[in-house]
Chains A and B, each alone.
Chain A
Amino acid sequence: ARTVREPGAFRHLTRRSSSRLKELRRITKRCSVRIECIVSLPEDKLQPRDFHILFVPRRSLLCEQRLKEKGVLNSFTNIDEYILDLIPYDGDLLSMESESSFRECYLENDQTSLYHAAKGLMTLQALYGTIPQIFGKGECARHVANMMLRMKREFAGSQTQILPVFDTLLLLDRNVDLLTPLATQLTYEGLIDEIFGITNGYVKLPPEKFAQKKQGEGGKELPTEPKKLQLNSAEELYAEIRDKNFNAVGAALSKKAKIISAAFEERHNAKTVGEIKQFVSQLPHMQAARSSLANHTSIAELIKDITTSEDFFDSLTVEQEFMTGVDTDKVSTYIEDCIAQKDPLIKILRLVCMQSVCNNGLKQKVLDYYKKEILQTYGYKHILTLKNLERVGLLKPQSTMRNNYPTIRKTLKLWMEDANEQNPNDISYVYSGYAPLSVRLTQVLARPGWRSIEEVLKMLPGPHFEERQQVPTGLHKKRQPGENRTILVFFLGGVTYAEIAALRFLSNMEDSGTEYIIAATKLINGTSWIKSLMDSPEENLP
């Protein structure tokens, strides 16, 4: 059977018989809150087949009930669940890949994904020891922490005696920092995701740049299939450049190119049999490095075509103006022009939302003007999407309250004028100036502590809190001098690659004293995030 890598709530049906399958398909199409897809083997008309159903991440009553109503529940030989909460994506990254988690939590008041997050954290603690300290900010964070503490009581007596690996858990609501995902990520990996979209650690790229140049053929035959590449830290070069600002990638690539060709040159120096043998033994590694370099050079070229375009520059300029608080209270001519030229709707929504967030809401007149423009240009059906954005706070009319964004920006140093893209000394390099709020909160928590920003924390939505969990005596970690603290940062509602890059930067910073492990309900970017909030009565969005 094919396996499905959509860890949402899918059912895995391995075998089928003809009439039953149709019925199942019908159910799954219109059915319940959770059924999303069924995968099956090719039909075999002669042999009756066994049905099996596997619920991921957990068994769902509604699903079973629906199957029962349709009279097919008894056709399954096995009904089971595969508990899949946190999926490791990299050495320091876990994701639940729960696509609609943010939408469910903030729009639909359905906290199922938070329950799974808490369950996942319990599993993590069973494997890596009780986490002594829990910090959090936001309603969802509070809810998850409460569930964890409750579950801990429930499992009392069955704790495993494991030395805690994590010192602290930080739970962060996405809605504490709505701004960051809206901004265009400017790290290498972030841009790959923004432009091509990374799905389950893979990216599909236009094939033209990857054509094998063979001598004599003149490279006329271009492949038509998209080039699919896996992206993770197992690839040495990618690990090196993924989190760099894109403007620093070119230099890194050419440096690498020199090292690799120098390594190949070594063969001329290999004189003795032993030296040649040594050289040959390194060949596979060198060849892999060379093909990796070729791939990333091509990707970087593809990205450069876009980042050097006037469109990209203009849009980035406006984003940065909003983030620094320039003209956030008026209708932006740029957005107006983009709408007039019917640029992609999601681009418009990202910009308008960003302006609203950076202004702590828009003047009613401005808001209504944007809404009207969007509805007239892209269709009235998007009224529901706009309502959704308002409900989650991405768009809002200005209240009588003062715009507190400038205060937050200044206190947390969200804008750094002199961001160093080549040799960064601050996390703001990931957005060439803007330091992601979520990561600043994390940074301040590690040093000097949240007490220093009490005022700002109050301005951000939701409660902030600290909880302690009893660690069995004898398991208290005695830190060696120079040994790092480990903080697990859990983003409820999704995390962007740029935020991950910023946290990795903090981990690698000299004498930061803290190592970060990142977990999230989903790896997101502004586009996928806004898309998840759209509500179009017609299935397919423009």
Chain B
Amino acid sequence: HHYIGATWHVLKIELYEMGWNLKDGLRECLVAAAPYGGPISLLKGHNRRSPSARPQLEIYSSSGLPLASFPWKSGVVKQLGWTVSDDLLCVQEDGTVLVYDLLGGFKRHFSMGNEVSQSQVLETKIFHSPYGTGVAILTGALRFTLATNIDDIKLRRLPEVPGLQGAPSCWAVLTQDRQSKVLVANGSHLFILDNTACTPVTPPGLSPQASSIVHMCVSFSYKYLALLTDSGHVWMGTSNLKEKLSEVDTKIKTPPKQMAWCRRPKSQQPSAVVMWDGLLIVVGECKETIQYHLDDDSILVPELDGVRIISGTHHELLQEVPGACEEIFKIASMAPGALLLEAHKEYEKESQKADEYLREIKEQSLLSEAVRQCVEAAGHEHEPETQKTLLRAASFGKCFLSNFPPEQFVSMCRDLRVLNAVRDYTVGIPLTHTQFKQMTVQVLIDRLVYRKLYPLAIEICRYLKTPEYQGVSRVLKHWACYKVQQKEESDEVIAKAVSVKLADAAGIFYSEIATKAYESGRTELAIKLLEFEPRSGEQVPLLLKMKKSPLALSKAIESGDTDLVYTVVMYLKNELNRGDFFMMLRNQPVALSLYKQFCKHQEQDTLKDLFNQDDDHEELGNLYVKASYKEQRLEARIALLQSAVDEYYKAKNEFSAKTTEDEMRLLRFQRKLEEEKGELLVGFSLHDTMTTLLSVGLHKHAEQLYKDFRVPDKRFWWLKLKSLAEKEDWEELEKFGKSKKSPIGYLPFVEVCIKHHNKYEAKKYVSKVTPEQKVKAHLAVGDMEGAAEAAIERRNESEISTVLSRCSATTDHLLMERLNRAKATAVKK
């Protein structure tokens, strides 16, 4: 361990000796290294313009192992950069941005707009924000154009910077208030550019000796800003320019090559790194600086919790010393962690001093704190041996603690195992524990997948017990997507390989794999793969795209999702000629009935064709009946009904045919009568027609309908009875009652008369009712005597009771006595 500086500690550790073999180091190279230990891209001789000597684009892992290399054939590249998903962006002079994956595969390109291509790119910065990866461009016209998210490009041209004559001395992109802004220095003036305005700003307490700001950098979190002035002062403060944290004189007045923040999250002190040729200076809160000599051309890669320094031969990490490590490893430290480590060392040596140390910790009740310190420090260590020593000490300490929650220890052991695996030279992802926690396992798995390190990714998923569909299955899907693009293998071999590997994996989306296969021109393979897709809904869109419509239709039906069936049906309707379309539907009853539903609402004529095709005369008949009701003109209506009748006969549905004929007959009758008598009748039911006729005194016509339509006597009697009573035509009613023996009896006569409050008329019919209804009839007209008489005569107990219940104790006293006597005998019997 290098412990440098007296007041605050910075630690430089070597991550890798670079595996690449660069002749001239990084000299004359355009270099871009992705954060989170991501890949490095180099473009050698990017300024060469002759077609004979094309520049070479190379991509390496962080350990310098080659991932891709190819000659650059497009335009002049101004800037390289990496996206959050490990894609390489190459920004050309003309504002075109080319996107490559990290293995050098071309993905797409996009333009930064006309204005940029006309005035050319002067400078470019690629930046990351919560919205994704963005590109900021300074054009030849000294204007800034910004795209905040390259996956959803919305170009923004920022306002003009006043007084800008040439390229600004320096600028940076920062994210504030959910907006990306540009901070520009023009000499000693500083401006913030947002969508609408260019605002001059002044850093509080900036040294007055400065006449120009020559360099600036924003921290990884966009929270802090560092400015370097021509007087060699580094000003450090918050990026909203509200607060100054520190200012340090580097005593160097030449412009630096690069500057970066080197600060741990939650750290109390600011620190930045400034790099010149051969020299690196770390500045912090105090006046003192830490200096490193650099042998070689290097670049700085800012990270969440430090800065990586990459040179032609080495890859190092510069970090503030983590608190836990400092506590433990500080010389003569009495921190609980340090004592525990010491205790464990003594224990290993089988020395009794172990007990002394332990006791010392326990006396202060700091054992759990000691364990925590050791675990945390282990997380920050890169050397597996040191990690182990610390973890062993922690584990040793844990033995003397009851109820110490094991989670932190267990998960740290797991995390470190994963970290050591990906830091391995062959993988080359030098993540710190802090970075790993920030980026999450999910993203780490993605990154391994991008590198096609499928077995390692799967092993990590299994080891960390990541839920299958987020872990192993996802990796396998990516593997399969890659596999199906391998042209040299046959469809069968690939389909088999994929199905064997993926057989037990849960939640595999075969449709995505099939889509990849189809996109690489392998339709047959795609169909084979789709067979494995359990979600039939997902099969359908691709099958349609591949023009496998019958299969798509049956898959849609299988899914049970009717909306999906409609999707296919509507597609087929446009794609096929009518005959073929109908034919296909015929073989799929589910689709056919859904289509019929659709037609019922939107295409009545098509519906008719469908029924015709199936010789479904019954349905055709129904269709005509329905249509007839929409028709206003009577002639047309009758014509439609006639068509219905024909169809019903063809369907051998005599009842429907006859009924519809009756309906036509009634309509004609109603119209005739409307014309003759001026009564509104059309549309009435037969029953209502007769009622109307009777109510206006057209008895003959009502009689005619009664006979013609063979209305049952009972119903006709009821109808006539009610109509006459309604009209209070008592004379006619009496005549009617006497015309012949009533098929409904005479109780209804009594009741209907009573209903119309005519007791006098009602009484006329009481004598005519059947013996069973006598009591009821007498009661209806309020004749208690008569009711009692009838009930007693019939010796019916329940009838006697009914009458009794209607008697009033005050007025019908005698009657009640009689009834009670009769009841007694009736019961006896």
Chain A residues in contact with chain B, CB under 8 A? 30-33, 58-62, 65-66, 108-112, 114-115, 118, 143, 146-147, 150, 153-158, 336-337, 339-342, 368, 371-373, 375-381, 383-384, 387, 537-538
Instruction: Tell me the complex Cα distance, A147–B534, Å.
Output: 12
CB distance from A376 to the nearest CB of B (A): 4
Question: Are B711 and A376 in contact (CB-based, < 8 A)?
Answer: yes
Q: Which single residue of chain A is at the shortest CB-CB distance from B686? A: A376
Task: Pick the residue among B468, B590, B686 that contacts A157 (CB under 8 A).
Answer: B468
Question: Are B469 and A157 in contact (CB-based, < 8 A)?
Answer: yes
Instruction: Tell me the complex Cα distance, A376–B719, Å.
Output: 12
Question: Are B597 and A538 in contact (CB-based, < 8 A)?
Answer: no
Question: Are A380 and B662 in contact (CB-based, < 8 A)?
Answer: yes
Task: Pick the residue among B505, B567, B629 that contacts A538 (CB under 8 A).
Answer: B629
A372: which B residues are within 8 A, CB to CB? 659
Question: Are B563 and A61 in contact (CB-based, < 8 A)?
Answer: yes
Given A109-B590, A377-B715, A383-B625; A59-B685 close (CB under 8 Å): no
Question: Are B473 and A157 in contact (CB-based, < 8 A)?
Answer: yes
Question: Are B666 and A383 in contact (CB-based, < 8 A)?
Answer: no
Question: Are B593 and A108 in contact (CB-based, < 8 A)?
Answer: yes
Task: Pick the residue among A150, A371, A375 that contacts B560 (CB under 8 A).
Answer: A150
- Is B108 interfacial (CB-CB < 8 Å)? no
Question: Are A537 and B626 in contact (CB-based, < 8 A)?
Answer: yes
A61: which B residues are within 8 A, CB to CB? 563, 566-567, 570
Question: Are B570 and A340 in contact (CB-based, < 8 A)?
Answer: no
Q: Which single residue of chain B is at the shortest CB-CB distance from A152? A: B534
Q: Which single residue of chain A is at the shortest CB-CB distance from B598? A: A33
Q: Which single residue of chain A is at the shortest CB-CB distance from B472? A: A157
Question: Are B598 and A32 in contact (CB-based, < 8 A)?
Answer: yes
Instruction: Tell me the complex Cα distance, A147–B719, Å.
Output: 54
Instruction: Tell me the complex Cα distance, A492–B580, Å.
Output: 35
- Is B722 interfacial (CB-CB < 8 Å)? yes
A110: which B residues are within 8 A, CB to CB? 562, 593-594, 597
Q: Mark B655-673, 1 if CB is under 8 A from A, else 0.
A: 1100110110010000000
583-609 of chain B: CB within 8 A of chain A: 589-590, 593-594, 596-598, 601-602
Interface centre among A30, A66, A109 (most CB of B within 10 A): A109
Task: Pick the residue among B468, B559, B715 that contacts A339 (CB under 8 A).
Answer: B715
Apart from A375-B686, A377-B685, list 6 A-B contacts with CB within 8 A.
A58-B563, A110-B562, A150-B559, A157-B468, A157-B473, A375-B659
Q: List 6 tightest A-B contacts by C-beta distance, closest first.
A: A157-B506, A537-B629, A157-B507, A109-B593, A340-B718, A379-B685
A375: which B residues are within 8 A, CB to CB? 659, 662, 685-686
Instruction: Tell me the complex Cα distance, A155–B626, Å.
Output: 45
Given A33-B597, A118-B560, A154-B535; A368-B685 close (CB under 8 Å): no
Question: Are B598 and A60 in contact (CB-based, < 8 A)?
Answer: no
Question: Are B562 and A112 in contact (CB-based, < 8 A)?
Answer: yes
A147: which B residues are within 8 A, CB to CB? 560
A156: which B residues are within 8 A, CB to CB? 506-507, 534
Interface residues on B, range: 35 or more
Interface centre among A30, A31, A155 (most CB of B within 10 A): A155
Q: Which single residue of chain B is at the shortest CB-CB distance from A148? A: B560
Instruction: Tell me the complex Cα distance, A109–B585, Å.
Output: 14
Interface centre among B560, B628, B685, B711 (most CB of A within 10 A): B560
CB distance from A61 to the nearest CB of B (A): 5
136-152 of chain B: CB within 8 A of chain A: none
Question: Are B601 and A380 in contact (CB-based, < 8 A)?
Answer: no
- Is B714 interfacial (CB-CB < 8 Å)? yes
- Is B701 interfacial (CB-CB < 8 Å)? no
Interface centre among B469, B505, B687 (most CB of A within 10 A): B687
Instruction: Tell me the complex Cα distance, A337–B748, Å.
Output: 10
The 19 listed contacts between A and B (C-beta, < 8 Å) are A32-B598, A61-B566, A110-B597, A115-B561, A147-B560, A150-B559, A157-B505, A157-B506, A336-B712, A337-B744, A340-B718, A340-B744, A373-B715, A375-B662, A375-B685, A376-B709, A378-B687, A384-B622, A384-B626
CB distance from B632 to the nearest CB of A (A): 12
Q: Which single residue of chain A is at the shortest CB-CB distance from B685? A: A379
Task: Pick the residue among A32, A150, A340 that contacts B719 (CB under 8 A).
Answer: A340
Q: Mark B511-555, 1 if CB is under 8 A from A, else 0.
A: 000000000000000000000001110000000000000000000
B467: which A residues are within 8 A, CB to CB? 157-158
- Is B630 interfacial (CB-CB < 8 Å)? yes
Question: Are A387 and B622 in contact (CB-based, < 8 A)?
Answer: yes
A384: which B residues are within 8 A, CB to CB? 622, 625-626
Task: Pick the residue among B570, B622, B655 that contacts A371 (CB under 8 A).
Answer: B655
Instruction: Tell me the complex Cα distance, A65–B598, Å.
Output: 12
A62: which B residues are within 8 A, CB to CB? 563, 566, 570, 598
Q: Mark B700-721, 1 if CB is under 8 A from A, else 0.
A: 0000000001011011001100
CB distance from B546 to the nearest CB of A (A): 20
Given A110-B593, A342-B687; A380-B659 close (CB under 8 Å): yes
Instruction: Tell me the complex Cα distance, A60–B534, Å.
Output: 23
Task: Pick the residue among B562, B622, B625, B719 that contacts A115 (CB under 8 A).
Answer: B562
Instruction: Tell me the complex Cα distance, A155–B686, Å.
Output: 59
Instruction: Tell me the complex Cα distance, A31–B603, Å.
Output: 11
Instruction: Tell me the complex Cα distance, A336–B715, Å.
Output: 8
B468: which A residues are within 8 A, CB to CB? 157
A371: which B residues are within 8 A, CB to CB? 655, 659
CB distance from A64 to the nearest CB of B (A): 10
Task: Pick the residue among A31, A154, A336, A383 that contacts B602 (CB under 8 A).
Answer: A31
Task: Pick the residue among B559, B602, B630, B714 that contacts A537 (CB under 8 A).
Answer: B630
Q: Which single residue of chain A is at the shortest CB-CB distance from B752? A: A341
Question: Are A380 and B687 in contact (CB-based, < 8 A)?
Answer: no
CB distance from B456 to the nearest CB of A (A): 21
Question: Are A108 and B560 in contact (CB-based, < 8 A)?
Answer: no
B687: which A residues are within 8 A, CB to CB? 342, 376-378
Instruction: Tell me the complex Cα distance, A315–B744, Å.
Output: 19
Question: Are B685 and A380 in contact (CB-based, < 8 A)?
Answer: yes
B602: which A residues are within 8 A, CB to CB? 31-32, 66
Question: Are A378 and B660 in contact (CB-based, < 8 A)?
Answer: no
Interface centre among B563, B589, B590, B598 (most CB of A within 10 A): B563
Task: Pick the residue among B597, B660, B712, B719 that contacts A383 (CB under 8 A).
Answer: B660
Question: Are A537 and B659 in contact (CB-based, < 8 A)?
Answer: no
B625: which A residues are within 8 A, CB to CB? 381, 383-384, 537
Question: Are B711 and A60 in contact (CB-based, < 8 A)?
Answer: no
CB distance from B257 to the nearest CB of A (A): 49
Task: Pick the residue among B535, B563, B597, B601 that contacts A60 (CB under 8 A).
Answer: B563
A337: which B residues are within 8 A, CB to CB? 714, 718, 744
619-671 of chain B: CB within 8 A of chain A: 622, 625-626, 628-630, 655-656, 659-660, 662-663, 666
Question: Are B659 and A383 in contact (CB-based, < 8 A)?
Answer: yes
B535: which A residues are within 8 A, CB to CB? 154
Question: Are B563 and A111 in contact (CB-based, < 8 A)?
Answer: no
Instruction: Tell me the complex Cα distance, A31–B626, Å.
Output: 18
CB distance from A521 to the nearest CB of B (A): 15
Instruction: Tell me the complex Cα distance, A111–B556, Å.
Output: 13
A377: which B residues are within 8 A, CB to CB? 685-687, 715
A32: which B residues are within 8 A, CB to CB? 598, 601-602
Instruction: Tell me the complex Cα distance, A379–B670, Å.
Output: 13
CB distance from B570 to the nearest CB of A (A): 7
Instruction: Tell me the complex Cα distance, A32–B507, Å.
Output: 35
Instruction: Tell me the complex Cα distance, A377–B690, Å.
Output: 10
Q: Which single residue of chain A is at the shortest CB-CB distance from B705? A: A376
CB distance from B493 to the nearest CB of A (A): 26
Interface centre among A58, A336, A377, A378 (most CB of B within 10 A): A377
CB distance from B134 to the nearest CB of A (A): 26
678-692 of chain B: CB within 8 A of chain A: 684-688
B593: which A residues are within 8 A, CB to CB? 108-110
Q: Which single residue of chain A is at the shortest CB-CB distance from B601? A: A33
B507: which A residues are within 8 A, CB to CB? 155-158
CB distance from B303 to the nearest CB of A (A): 34
B559: which A residues are within 8 A, CB to CB? 150
B534: which A residues are within 8 A, CB to CB? 150, 153-154, 156
